[in-house]
Amino acid sequence: MGSCEFISSEEGAKKCLEGIPFPADKQEILRRIERSGGPEAVIVAANQIPEKVYQSLDELLQCLGADETARGE
């Protein structure tokens, strides 16, 4: 599938992750991504986040690194 637009922009990340109810733990996030048919790169990235309860989409995006990548850091 190559590189995923999800990681290249915050907007793309939000589209891939929309509909996840927060707070949500890692397993719930993974289930939601898989059920929605998220790209393989999203599943791989989500598998690498720490096991914890995420309180918001912004917190999840920070862990996934989407914010830094979107800013070009």
At 54-73, the pLDDT tens digits run: 999 999 988 887 544 443 44
Check residue 12 and give its pLDDT: 66
Please state the pTM of the whole predicted model.
0.71
Q: How far is it, in rounded angstroms, from Cα 67 to Cα 28?
A: 21
